[in-house]
């Protein structure tokens, strides 16, 4: 009898935004790939308020759970709860363990770890912990949500110029009030942007071909992947941020440094299954880690899937390798 893989994701309401609905696309295609690989599948939204979800898992006794939970109740702070409950139940699951999911989802906590480990990450500041600020002033900063992924809350107004620490803290607090999300600021690196995807394998993690986000923006428009660039297909921002896997030979040393840094992050946070590391490269050619996504989107049109295809790994094999890694960690 075929083994069962249960696919779980955050509940999606009737009036959900595009970034929230995307998880349903992922779940459908993951289930399709798993069935092609010979597994039985079941899709079950994660319900942290009910015992029914856990009871269903215990009765099914799946090989593993394919974890697509990205947030709960629209709150990225709860992303690790599914992992923690699965650990409690003794059921293996795909992707990063609960500790890594929590550490990488809190962007400032992740930056502290990287800073201590010697992994270059832009200087930051957060209200209430400004004593750790080593930011240069005056300077340009980008204000981000502390917990959210998928460019949530990012727009052109997110990039600000601040003359003093007090000025920047005021901007961050204002942004937090305006968005209803806890925010922080990091030094804005006005340079090239790269995404490096990593996929687990039987011989260890494989860094997939690096992708550069090529901006075709007019002068004066900040080169950032904001919410519109990521989710609004009809917008100028979406059309003018193209993913490229083509590089001249002169970029080889830079791509090697990016690969080394991505692997350093994988090891530092003890990631599993699959992950993506986002970079900016400054004018001197220095790479800076912006953030680590321990549960990256794997929709058919996602950057992760595009990188896998560039490496000659079709979607079905990609899903199979993620499940195989979860099975190895049972």
The CA–CA distances, whole Å, from 107 to 66, 171, 233, 252, 329 equal: 24, 18, 27, 29, 26
Q: What is the pLDDT of residue 133?
A: 79
Residues of the chain with pLDDT below 70 are 1, 73-75, 149-153
For the question of whether the overall pTM of this predicted structure is more than 0.85, the answer is: yes
| CATH value at residue 32 | 3.40.50.20
Q: What is the pLDDT of residue 115?
A: 95
Residue 150 CA to residue 153 CA, distance in Å, equals: 9
Q: What is the pLDDT of residue 241?
A: 86
Q: What is the pLDDT of residue 151?
A: 58
Q: What is the pLDDT of residue 14?
A: 74
Q: What is the pLDDT of residue 152?
A: 66
Tokens representing 170 are 């005021």
Considering the domain architecture, whether residues 62 and 178 belong to the same structural domain is answered as no
Tens digits of residue pLDDT in 151-165 = 566 788 889 999 999
Q: What is the pLDDT of residue 217?
A: 83
Q: Decide which of 80, 95, 110 is a domain's last residue.
A: 95
| Residue 278: HSE in the Cβ half-sphere, 13 Å Cα cutoff | 22
Considering the domain architecture, whether residues 314 and 199 belong to the same structural domain is answered as yes
Residue 118 CA to residue 273 CA, distance in Å, equals: 24
Q: What is the pLDDT of residue 150?
A: 54
In a domain, 115, yes or no: no
Domain carrying residue 158: 122-187
Domain count for the chain: 3
Q: What is the pLDDT of residue 234?
A: 76
Using an 8 Å Cβ cutoff, are 188 and 142 in contact? yes
Contacts of 179 (CB under 8 A, 6+ apart): 145, 153
Considering the domain architecture, whether residues 143 and 31 belong to the same structural domain is answered as no
């Amino acid at each position: 009898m075929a083994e069962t893989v249960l696919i779980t994701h955050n509940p999606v309401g009737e009036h959900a935004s595009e970034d929230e609905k995307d998880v349903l696309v992922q779940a459908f295609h993951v289930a399709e790939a798993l069935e092609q690989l010979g597994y039985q599948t079941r899709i079950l939204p994660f319900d942290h308020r009910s015992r029914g979800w856990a009871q269903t898992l215990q009765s099914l006794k799946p090989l593993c759970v394919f974890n697509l939970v990205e947030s709960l109740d629209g709150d990225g702070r709860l992303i690790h709860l599914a992992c923690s409950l699965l650990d409690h139940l003794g059921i293996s699951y795909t992707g990063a363990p609960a500790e890594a999911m929590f550490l990488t989802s809190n962007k400032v906590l992740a930056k502290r770890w990287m800073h201590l480990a010697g992994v270059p990450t832009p200087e930051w500041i957060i209200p209430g912990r400004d004593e750790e600020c080593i930011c240069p002033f005056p300077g340009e900063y980008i204000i981000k949500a502390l917990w959210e992924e998928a460019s949530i809350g990012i727009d052109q107004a997110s990039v600000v110029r601040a003359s003093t620490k007090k000025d920047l803290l005021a901007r961050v607090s204002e942004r937090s009030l305006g968005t209803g999300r806890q925010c922080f600021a990091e030094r804005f690196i006005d340079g090239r942007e790269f995404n490096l995807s990593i996929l687990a394998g039987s011989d260890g993690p494989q860094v997939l071909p690096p992708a550069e986000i090529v901006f075709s923006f007019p002068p004066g428009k900040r080169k950032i992947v904001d919410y519109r660039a990521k989710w609004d297909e009809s917008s100028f921002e979406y059309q003018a941020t193209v993913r490229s896997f083509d590089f001249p030979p002169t970029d080889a040393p830079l791509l090697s440094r990016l690969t080394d840094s991505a692997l350093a992050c994988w090891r530092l946070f003890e990631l599993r299954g699959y992950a993506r590391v986002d970079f900016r490269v400054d004018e001197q050619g220095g790479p800076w880690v912006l953030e680590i996504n321990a549960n990256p989107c794997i929709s058919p049109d996602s950057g992760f899937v595009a990188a896998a295809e560039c490496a000659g790994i079709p979607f079905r094999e990609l899903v199979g390798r993620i499940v195989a890694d979860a099975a190895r960690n049972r």
